[in-house]
Amino acid sequence: MSSPAQASLSHYFTQSPSKPSKRPSSPIDLTLDDHSDSPPPPKKAKHAKVHTARESSAPDGYASTGRKPVAKKRKQQGNFRETLKRDNSMFLDTLEDSQPGPSRRSEPASDDHTLPPRTQLDDGFEAFQTLVESGTRLRGSKGKRQKSSPGDSASPTKAAKGKQRIGPSGETYTPLESQVLELKKANPGIVLMFHVGYKYQFYGTDATLAANEFGIACYPKRNFDYASVPVHRRDIYLKKRVRNTGLKVGIVAQTETAALKKAGDNSNKLFDRAVTELYTIQTFLDELDSVDQLGPYTAPTILFIGEKAQEPSKADDKVTVSVIAVTASTGEVLWDEFSDSHLRIELESRLAHADPSQILLPREKVSAATEKLVAQLSTERLNVDLTYTEAYDTLTTFYTDAEQSSSPSSSGLASITGLPKSVVILMAHAIQYLHPFDLSGLLLQTKFFTRYTTRSHMLLSASTLTNLEIYANDTDYTSTGSLLEILDQTKTAFGARLLRNWIGRPLVDKVALDARAAAVDEILKARSSDILIGLRNTVEKLPDLAKGLSRIQFGKIIPKEFARFMQSLQTLSELYEPYERPSFVDLKSEILQDVVHAVSCLRAPVTDILSEVRLDKAEKNLKHELWKNSETYPRLNDFSELLAVVEFELQEELKQIRKELKMPALQWSQVRDDEYLISIERHLEGRIPEGWISHSRTKYKVCYYKPSVAEKLKERDCHLEERQAEADKALQDFLSRITNDHYESLRHAVNKLAVADCLFSLSRVAQRDDYVRPEFTDEDVLVINGARHPMIEQMHTRPYVQNDAHIGGSRPKALVCTGPNMGGKSSAVKMVALLCLMSQIGSYVPASSMKLRTLDGIYTRMGASDNLAKGKSTFMVEMTETSDILRSATERSLVILDELGRGTSTHDGMAIASAVLHHLIQQTKCKTLFITHYPLIASELERLFPKGLQNSHMAYRESTAGDGSPTITFLYKLVPGLTTRSFGVECARLARVPNGILEKAEEVSSKTRDQVDALVKRAQTRATVQCLRDCLKANQDQAVQAGHLAQLRQCCQSSRPSH
């Protein structure tokens, strides 16, 4: 049979002289021999890992360098040439297929050796050149061949899928990058952390943010900016991310395990991934013993706010506000509904107490006053608006489903029926918001819901918390130097949080106050009581049990934490034998009896829990070995047995390998995480049978896998992953059973332990020098002797000047304090307010004695500051706070006003101060401490209300220095009487204002003072003369005559200078 016409590469090129080549030129056959029976050459494997006999006999140089032998390389080149000789029509297939008419393959082969037409040769060469260029484009910048993407394949099936997308780098998106794009598109506004291998990876803008926050490397990788963190550091970086950015962070995890995927049919495909966890700073449940807490007294809180206009037709902006504060990490839920004025003072107070890290507002805009109040806080809008019917249906479904799943919510549906409708709507919103975070179960425990305001507590306003430095100082706004820090001697985190609540919400019920003070007294007196000593010593070593209980409730706790939690409860449960009733406890205080009874009741739930779990295994985080009874979770036991079988078979394999290699002492080896390797010396490598899998090589050793061992390891890895998944399910089921069966008893005990910790803290405060227990009385009086400022005394080493205060009873209820600047007026009135506050939380006070009737509120207006964010000037802030005080104060309140009216002109300021003080004395009739630099107001009101107002001032001593300049010595003592001197110039001298300015100021001050003194004396003279005339009038009865004489006496006293 004649051969077909041959075409050579030389026909596609113009003839040109060339240098003689060492290798003889030969034409390359470009035609396709359809009748060739020789099979195409096999494809070369990329990685040859299987050991062969030839490789085992290769010289050491080849084995160590990995170079291919020259003969083998030449053979491969020859095979390539033969392929081109046999198959040249492949370059013309595209041309022929595109031309109309019969296929060229159907034409008979020509017997002559004539060349194809020139046009066909040119078109064939163009097709060949296109193919060569497309191959060249696949090469990297250094000439290395890049992996071809699926879109580059010539397979018709893949080509039908269309071209792959080109990214910003000019390269196609890899399957992982395409997965990243899809997940980021499906989760807008969420920072995603992708679990890939042994790292959590960030892509795009998320990577840039992570690099800036964590100080890690960020660099471009194909089509994304890329950054990563190790898997074992996930929670550390996650906590930083949600704390610093306030954004939602999603964990993208693999939804299939590596070993099971490898053993399945889709082993070569990309892992399926999905957002499995979602976190914010409020929903991240910190570890039990975490040292990186956001604050010692607060936990991240979400506050839901709703409001409704009371009279929409009016423009007074009065609203009914409802709030729910949810703290996921501690399981606390607080709610309230209240009426608020256009000033939003009530809402501002609850914001100050809750200290929310996130505020959820209705989808529709709330009132302008509320929007302005929360503008500087982190806010988010709810997605939908709910009617009361829709909200109630949501809650009904929620609690009904919980009851059917045996969750502890049997009273949930009954409890919400007593809540206001606006609060019910907010609860439905809270459930919907928390559901994606798997935290909606927090609202199942309705028994532990708390209302902000009750009849037994007062709620300190935001201005009072700031002015008295209750939670934070007014310098750097930390707790250093605050009343909270002075009183905080707690030993537990949950105790510290409760103490903050006590301080911000003092008791107003005298019975409750006496009970709390009696408990502190008993702790002080019963120092040898075994009951209290054991409890105090145990409480000091407790972790944050409230946080641990929340982590159990939501299935977040790990075995090591669970062991710590249960060991603490076990120690507590062993303190006492169970008491049937609190009254059986051998203590006098009912509060302490309740605490001890709750602790003794821990024995039953703790015994029940420990009967199932092994704490020694939990401490080592061995989830699959936690259970004492293997039948509790039989599937877990089945996987353990399967693994034992595989381990036994591997040991049998070792015996067989010893015989094959004739090495009876051979043992399994391990390289990093790879186990069950055969490691032998290199000179014994010839003993390795053909087909064994090479693992690694060193200068002296080689490591191999026996194929059957490798298969058993795959089987073992599958069983390990299945057992791990089953162990996770078992632990979640166990934690769910603890929540269903024992949550209420455990939560009750933790709450009582927090009370005990606070009482122990107050007892430590009471042991300080010269602290006394205040006495509560029904008489409308406030008497303090030898009082000291609690914070100043602790922060300074020099002795504090003690002061007395007597308000009410036989004395007037309003006290006006005047005196020089820097004389201690503000400190003195703050001291009175702080001691009253300490008394009503059950604390001892720094004084020699104190007697008072319980106050229902403490209101303060102090300092001078604007609020530009709310559009309020200094004077507007002053008037706003004063207005709130006038609306809220009652006869049983304590009001402190510091230099009211100084933010405007002298005449207006004096008029406002006088009118406000007049109202408090005559209308409100509350206890008032009024600081002023307007002596005319004090003298005039004392004349008008001799039994309602008393004047006092801070004592001082005035002298003359050697250079003739006046000097003043502050005595910091509150004494009766009025002073007209403020010594502002002397205060400026202490501030080292230049002498020239001081001399000019003294000159102007002297003239003004003389004018004012003359006016005052003239007014006093006229008043005295008028009193004399009234006294000298005839035909007056004795009562009227006595009144005129009293006025005359008062005028004479007020005209005397008082220092």
pLDDT band at 46 (very low <50, low <70, confident <90, very high): very low
Report how far residue 922's alpha carbon sits from residue 932's, in angstroms, rounded to the nearest whole number: 19
* CA-CA-CA-CA torsion sign (594, 839, 300, 871): positive
Report residue 270 as tokens: 């990309």
Q: Which residues contact 25 (CB under 8 A, 6 or more apart)?
A: none
Work out the number of other CB atoms within 10 angstroms of the CB of residue 714.
13
pLDDT band at 311 (very low <50, low <70, confident <90, very high): confident
According to DSSP, residue 690 is labeled T
Over residues 749-804, the pLDDT tens digits come to 999 999 999 999 999 999 998 899 999 999 999 999 999 999 999 888 888 889 99
Which residues partner with 273 through β-bridges?
254
- Mean pLDDT is lowest, of 203-207, 244-248, 951-955, 968-972, for 244-248
Report how far residue 435's alpha carbon sits from residue 927's, in angstroms, rounded to the nearest whole number: 50
Region 814-822 average pLDDT? 88
Q: Which phi and psi (to 5°) does residue 726 adopt?
A: -70, -35
Report residue 14 as tokens: 């113009």
- Please say if the pLDDT value at position 33 is more than 70: no
Report how far residue 348's alpha carbon sits from residue 305's, in angstroms, rounded to the nearest whole number: 12
Return the higher-pLDDT residue of 572 and 113.
Answer: 572
948 three-class SS: coil
pLDDT band at 730 (very low <50, low <70, confident <90, very high): very high
Return the higher-pLDDT residue of 512 and 1028.
Answer: 512
Over residues 353-378, the pLDDT tens digits come to 999 989 999 988 788 889 988 988 88
Over residues 2-22, the pLDDT tens digits come to 444 444 444 444 444 444 444
- Please say if the pLDDT value at position 179 is more than 90: yes
Report how far residue 311's alpha carbon sits from residue 443's, in angstroms, rounded to the nearest whole number: 32
Burial class of residue 199 in the structure, from the number of CB atoms within 10 Å of its CB (0-12 exposed, 13-18 middle, 19+ buried) = middle
Q: Which phi and psi (to 5°) does residue 513 adopt?
A: -65, -45
Report how far residue 62's alpha carbon sits from residue 51's, in angstroms, rounded to the nearest whole number: 14
Region 1040-1057 average pLDDT? 66
Q: Which residues contact 246 (CB under 8 A, 6 or more apart)?
A: 280, 281, 357, 358, 378
The runs of H, that is alpha helices, within 215-342 are: 234-245, 258-263
Closest CA to 281 of 229, 236, 240, 332: 240
Report how far residue 185's alpha carbon sits from residue 364's, in angstroms, rounded to the nearest whole number: 26
Q: 356 and 299 in contact (C-beta within 8 Å)?
A: no
Instruction: State the first-to-last Cα distance of the chain, in angstroms, to the nearest integer.
Output: 139
pLDDT, position 844: 96
Report the amino acid identity of residue 331. Answer: G
pLDDT, position 369: 87
pLDDT, position 263: 64
Q: Which residues contact 262 (CB under 8 A, 6 or more apart)?
A: 714, 717
Report how far residue 669's alpha carbon sits from residue 674's, in angstroms, rounded to the nearest whole number: 9
Region 542-560 average pLDDT? 94
92-111 per-residue burial string, b: 16 or more CB within 10 A, e: under 16: beebbeeeeeeeeeeeeeee
pLDDT band at 306 (very low <50, low <70, confident <90, very high): very high
Q: 816 and 941 in contact (C-beta within 8 Å)?
A: yes
Q: 632 and 612 in contact (C-beta within 8 Å)?
A: yes
Report how far residue 284's alpha carbon sits from residue 789's, in angstroms, rounded to the nearest whole number: 40
pLDDT, position 313: 65
- CA 736 vs. chain centroid, Å, equals 24
Report residue 710 as tokens: 């490798």
pLDDT, position 1: 42
Region 835-843 average pLDDT? 96
Over residues 906-921, the pLDDT tens digits come to 778 888 888 999 999 9
Report how far residue 306's alpha carbon sits from residue 391's, in angstroms, rounded to the nearest whole number: 13
Q: 489 and 761 in contact (C-beta within 8 Å)?
A: yes
Region 710-718 average pLDDT? 91
Return the higher-pLDDT residue of 733 and 143.
Answer: 733
Mean of all residue pLDDT scores within the chain: 81
pLDDT, position 585: 92
Over residues 958-1001, the pLDDT tens digits come to 877 776 667 778 888 998 888 767 777 777 777 788 888 877 88
Return the higher-pLDDT residue of 342 and 553.
Answer: 553
Q: 931 and 895 in contact (C-beta within 8 Å)?
A: no
Helix pair angle (906-919, 935-944), 10° resolution: 30
